[in-house]
Structure 1
Amino acid sequence: MSSFLIPILAALVSAPPDDGIHDIRSLVAAIEALQRPIEDFRCEFEGAVVYKGALAEEWKANLDANGVFETFGGVFVWKREGEMFADILHNVGGDANAASEKIMIRPQERVFEHHNHPGGRSIGNVDIRNLDGIRISGYKTPASFFLIDDLKGIRDKDDRATTVTDEEVDGRPLKVLTVFMVFKGTDLPDRLFERYWIDLHRNGHAVRHETYLVDPLSSRSDITLKSFKIGKEDVWMPVASVSKTHIEDDAKGLSVYTREPTILQTMSIIDRTMEFNKHPGPDVFTSKYKPGTPISDHLKKLQYKYGQDKLKPQPTRSEVEAMLDSQLAKAETQKNELGAAPFSEGVNWWAWSVSGLGAAVVASLAALWMQRRAG
């Protein structure tokens, strides 16, 4: 045999077979098939948010000795058709109260229900809206790394373009889903938005996720998988993530890339709390559901602090008005910034999305609180 043919034949023998998965629809279909044994699951989880660099210096009064800005924990329930329940407690550094948050998703009704109570004796807020457009992975729950619902949402959006390619990472063959934002009706080019690295040899879970709101990188999450028994089958599940945000504001208040991360968020499923295929009924995905006493010591401590904070004095009218004025001023600044720059410029989308929503919530809470006081 001619010597120059040997390397070619060797390459052909070693090349992986074509699995036919070259687009998002076939990719999501393959993942759904691989995850068929997971009808539903329930778990407890915990996590922390650490500020670093200039952000840590700016917020140092609200950080502990290790730079921790927030700890959180909760109970999470998911069902195959996308139903979800999360009961979360947050504790922010400094003297802030522990806060309570509940998230309920009922896809058959196209309903997203969000309950937020800032702690102490402050008035809570209930937000019920259409599920369309809600990015579930953006909340501090295991839905941030159990990503099938996110992928299905991307598949169904007409303002997204996608590619599916093959890549080997640490010796493992992965599918890479690249997502572009499409600006229909404009001359703007498609913009790289995010990437998912998906392991089809471990039940189709993502092991890495990157976002690109700024160049060259906004955030990166590395996800740990673990094998569980469901009946007689070995099934992989995501159990932890480490997420690094590479964004800070420049002198103009615009979001820019930082080589070193500015925010580090960790989250993990608490050992021995994962339960599969318990067939939760419809009430579990409503505000009526009470998860019961947690197993986690961390979550028990958060529950205790939240209970103690509820006994603190109610804020005065002047305190609420001052908080409202501050939030409205921030919202006005963000609104002006949004109107002044297109998406392709370095506008502070990260801060705007959080602050703008927060200001609207605070405004409604304050108005309701003052109405009740007046009545």
Structure 2
Amino acid sequence: MKRLTVLGSTGSIGTQTLDVVRENPEQLQVYALVAGTRVDEIERQVREFKPQIVAMMDEKGARELKARLRDLPVVVEQGMDGIIRTVTAKEPDTVVTAISGRIGLEPTLAALKAGKNIALANKETLVAGGELVMETAKRLGRSIIPVDSEHSAIFQCLEEPNGLLEKILITASGGPFLGWSREQLSEVTPEMALKHPNWSMGAKITIDSATMMNKGLEVIEAHHLFGLTYDKIEVLVHPQSIVHSMVQYQDGSILAQLGRPDMRLPIQYALSYPTRWSSPFERLDLRGKTLTFQEPNLKETPALALAYEVGRRGGTLPAVMNAANEVAVYAFLQQKIGYLQIVEIVEDICAEHEVLDATDLESILEADDWARKRTQERIQNC
């Protein structure tokens, strides 16, 4: 029986993680839930899964939740300090980091230091602090199992020894605007960008998928997860979202992982690893399917080109890119800037940044804070 802490339980990945728990009651138990602001939803989750601890980032929400749960023997924590206490509790062995954004970095590091294994769905953690996180996991003998569908696919296709690996091929759906001209993109609204053709995801990651920044973040994440140079990480546009990623070996063989666009499959694999559990979820039927692949046009996807450049430069620059992108995406969702301005602003902030080493948490957080403030200033002047 694995005891879980679900970090970001009310978000898209968090709720699908709880779907997996429902289907595997003999293998999985929820010990703790962590959420941001959604009091109604986390109250429902607490009453169903009966965790020992629940934490909310929003302190007002935590106080309201505590009042609502007076009839249950559950500890309610609040704020980042409360979240850290929750993810470091003695009893759980696995923390599912399903929270969106850089905010997942500190709890992930704290969980690793407390001896927990990580089921990682928060790519921003490795983008901002990949060197520090992976070094911490290696030093403490903790495992980080990827939950992102692309990285899960690569993880499932890898064979030992990795020295025989030629490259990995990360697939991208291309989002809702594949093939659109710059003139068409200038008219994109948040409502249009939130309609992903294949996947059901949270707002931020859906916008990132449209701009292809999400794929850029995944390239940097893959670099840290699998220890590969950027020359060995290739992106292919695959609009059908059936092949989730591939691994090519030195003899020319390519291994691919296929499945429906359903995040519950990689979530369950991360929690069942190194075994596979039976699943009630719908199977992929390949009859009548056509699979196509094409090379992304980096001129038409500047976010992906920027991510490669930023990843190769390293240091605090990936944290800056990630922070600037988070702020710019939310500004777009609030209709403060246009769609094309998202990447333009991120590029400008990255160009301004004086890159430092990113070997300690303080340096990463300082760079992140600088980027957020500078991006806000840039948006105000738009």
Between structures 1 and 2, the one with greater strand share: 1
Higher relative contact order (CA 8 A, sep 6+): 1
The TM-score with structure 2 as length reference comes to 0.24
Higher helix share: 2
Bigger Rg over Cα? 1
